[in-house]
Chains A and B, each alone.
Chain A
Amino acid sequence: MTRSASVPVTAWPPRSRRATGASPRLLLGALAVALLALLVVSLGVGRAPLDLAAAAAQWWRGEQTLATLVLTELRVPRALLAILVGGSLGLAGAALQGLLRNPLAEPGIVGVSSCAALGAVIAFYSGWSVAVPLALPFGGIAGALLAVLLLYALAGRNAGTLTLILAGVAINGFAGAATALALNLAPNPYAVTEIVFWMMGSLSDRSMTHVQVAAPLILLGLGLLATSGRALDALTLGEDAAISLGVPLARLRAQLVLGTALAVGASVAIVGAVGFVGLVVPHLLRPLVGHQPSRLLLPSALGGAVLVQAADIAVRSIPLGAELKLGVVTALLGAPFFLWLVLRLRQESAG
């Protein structure tokens, strides 16, 4: 029963050693445990007092009580949406960064989220969202698709950080102006307030219907993004080398553009703009996976879900007059982080 003392010289995928820290399974396991723990906490937190164990037991016995109603109609959809939306934003950030080979490529910064919001606002205004059940998420997806295509046209091939950020400024500017125009022309001031609040990003008052509408689209998008790992690894060496390594570049682009549009578009249409998740999460996790794009994808999805779930617990736990908006919290945390990252990238390129 003695185990061989010889250690393989190398292994594929290269095991993270000294330089890279935790093993991939350990990292994924830790993130999954954190997510489960936060899920339980999230189900227990809220304005209506709820004995989680009792409510769960009643639900299990098939009883219809106020407690089970709060659990299944309020808490569960909210917690599920947090996972779906956080996973989308984290994974889309990691995948876009791999495609554009730039750590600043994030759905919010490059304007995908704001275009998705624009699409949803248009669907809302035109009345389609009332007439057609899926109009809202499809509006968001159409807006996000437009933004990713624009982004790729402006900053796709070997673009530097400057081009990427400028493209983001342009796309965000356009989406912001068009959304403002829609609000400007709004016949009903209450609708304006409602939309402005919605755009801040929040998970409150979302129902199981929202989950049912968004989940298939988001999961499809996540699937497209999550299977791009091998190609993103090859892209580390640049487009020419990636092609010579057998990567079908055009197909990869289409896959990632569509995946981002589906995941982010559907997410934004349901919960509004929740910024910076796709920036912060991949950045924190990247050193733990040896900076390999393929190994960053799943941890980023889990990490995004953890972050959004935690932030959503925080907005419900911080005792202020009105409930804080989720998007406001992530932006307050994320924007300084973004500034710090820009400063560091500038130092790197100067050094």
Chain B
Amino acid sequence: MRLSACDITVRAGATPLLRGVSIDAAPGELLGLIGPNGAGKSTLMRVLAGVRAADQGQVLYDARTAAQIGRRALAQRLAYLPQGGGSAWPLNVEALVALGRVPHRGAFGAADEAGPAAIARALDATDLSALRTRTVTTLSGGELARALLARTLAVDGDALLADEPVAALDPCHQLEVMGILRQRADAGGTVIVVLHDLALAARFCDRLVLLHGGSVAAQGRPDDVLTDERLAQVYRVRALRLRPDLASPAAVLPWQRVASTEPFLEASP
């Protein structure tokens, strides 16, 4: 599914959260959405997921609006993992993951033939098969995060929006989750992921969109977006760059804060 947001503006009262943001993600692409706190990443994700209406602009899914596709039909194709989600009730892991099949169930519990296989695949992909009878309240933070991701995988849609899916995870599981998202994209899915970890963003994403103050500060290939000037300007950090080999993109490791009065900032356009 091709996802394109065109000139999205969102205001909370008089405060603009997003100002004329346009982004585009194609099937097979893993698009990273990065930016400092308060840049508007989560707001943009909510608009893309059709959870929040934009004050201006529109989101198109394969050139159609959510209203044209229909809310339920869209829900079968587009999965959204909100930031910091959880479960209100102590379901077991399998029941939680099975919630991803809600759009595929009829209103009166009509059969969902593809459901069991999709749930099993999602559990398997997130390494949770052994935990599927565990109550979610007994999971560690990382296990819960993986279970919530598995829920979105169980939707089995062709687009996936994940808002900070690696925030609570240890390094190994961070790599695992990024690997799952990468795999989804390689299998032809459209994946948009919000990340704070610039090293993961540079390593796994095909393209990055850098948001700053509600606008797109830059977008393009990771190396082109994560320049020293932009890191200083937008994130106010200086970074180390580690290049494991010539074929890989450089990993970006934020190292030092940049004081706002430094001439480096003034010099940048």
A residues with a Cβ closer than 8 A to B are 8-14, 17-20, 101-102, 227, 229-230, 233-238, 240-241, 243-248, 286, 290-294
Cα of A182 to Cα of B112 in the assembled complex, Å: 55
Residues on the A chain within 8 Å of B230, using CB: none
- In the complex, B265 has a CB within 8 A of chain A: no
Least CB distance from B112 to A in Å reads 6
* Smallest CB separation, B59 vs chain A (Å): 13
Q: How many residues of B contact A (CB 8 A)?
A: 48
In the bound complex, residues from chain A placing their C-beta under 8 Å from that of B91 are 236, 290-292
Q: Are A18 and B75 in contact (CB under 8 A)?
A: no
Those of B75-90 within 8 Å (CB) of chain A? 75-76, 78-82, 85-90
Nearest CB in chain A to that of B79: its residue: A244
Question: Ordered nearest first, which 8 A-B pairs have the shortest CB separation?
Answer: A246-B75, A101-B88, A244-B80, A246-B72, A12-B115, A291-B89, A246-B103, A240-B82
Q: Are A18 and B151 in contact (CB under 8 A)?
A: no
A337 to B76, CA, bound (A): 42
Are B82's CB and A17's CB within 8 A?
A: no
Which single residue of chain B is at the shortest CB-CB distance from A20?
A: B92
Which of B24-32, B44-52, B169-177, B218-226 contacts its partner?
Answer: B44-52
Q: Is B207 in the interface zone, CB < 8 Å from A?
A: no
Across the interface, do A245 and B102 meet the contact criterion of CB distance under 8 Å? Answer: yes
Is there an interface contact between A246 and B116, defined as CB atoms closer than 8 Å?
no
B33 within 8 A of A: no
A10 lies within 8 A of B116 (CB): yes
- 9 A-B contact pairs sorted by A residue (CB < 8 Å): A10-B115, A12-B98, A13-B109, A14-B95, A19-B134, A234-B99, A238-B82, A240-B51, A241-B82
Contacts of B81 in A (CB 8 A): 241
Q: Tell whether A9 pairs with B102 under 8 Å between CB atoms, given A17-B133, A19-B134, A227-B107.
A: no
Contact between A9 and B120, CB atoms less than 8 A apart: yes
Taking a contact as CB atoms under 8 Å apart, the answer to whether B133 and A18 are in contact is: yes
Q: Identify the B interface with A (CB < 8 A).
A: 46, 49-51, 71-72, 74-76, 78-82, 85-92, 94-96, 98-103, 105, 107-109, 112, 115-116, 119-120, 123, 132-135, 148, 151, 155
- Bound-state CA distance A286–B116 (Å) is 24
Which chain A residue lies CB-closest to B52? A240
CB within 8 A of A290: which of B50, B95, B103, B132? Answer: B95
Q: When the two chains form the complex, which single residue of A12, A18, A240 contacts B116, counting CB atoms closer than 8 Å?
A: A12
Bound: A232/B98 CA distance, A = 14
In Å, the complex CA distance between A102 and B89 comes to 9
Task: For B91, give the chain A residue with the smallest CB separation.
Answer: A291
Query: Is the Cβ of B87 less than 8 Å from the Cβ of A236?
Result: yes
Q: Are A12 and B105 in contact (CB under 8 A)?
A: yes
Q: How far is the CA of A297 from the CA of B133 in the complex (A)?
A: 22
**Inter-subunit contact A292/B85 (CB<8 Å):** no
Chain B residues lying within 8 Å of A10, measured Cβ to Cβ, are: 94, 98, 115-116, 119-120, 123, 132
**What's the least CB distance linking A197 to chain B, in Å?**
39
Q: How far is the CA of A227 from the CA of B105 in the complex (A)?
A: 13
Q: How far is A101 from B87 in the complex, measured between Cα atoms in Å?
A: 9
Q: A12-B115, A244-B78 are in contact. List 4 more A-B contacts (CB 8 A).
A: A10-B119, A12-B119, A233-B102, A237-B151
Contacts of B98 in A (CB 8 A): 10, 12-14
**Residues of chain B contacted by A11 (CB below 8 angstroms):** 116
Contact status B134-A235, CB under 8 Å: no
A10 CA to B81 CA, complexed, in Å: 23
- Asked whether A19 and B133 contact (CB < 8 A) given A14-B95, A236-B91, A240-B82, the answer is yes
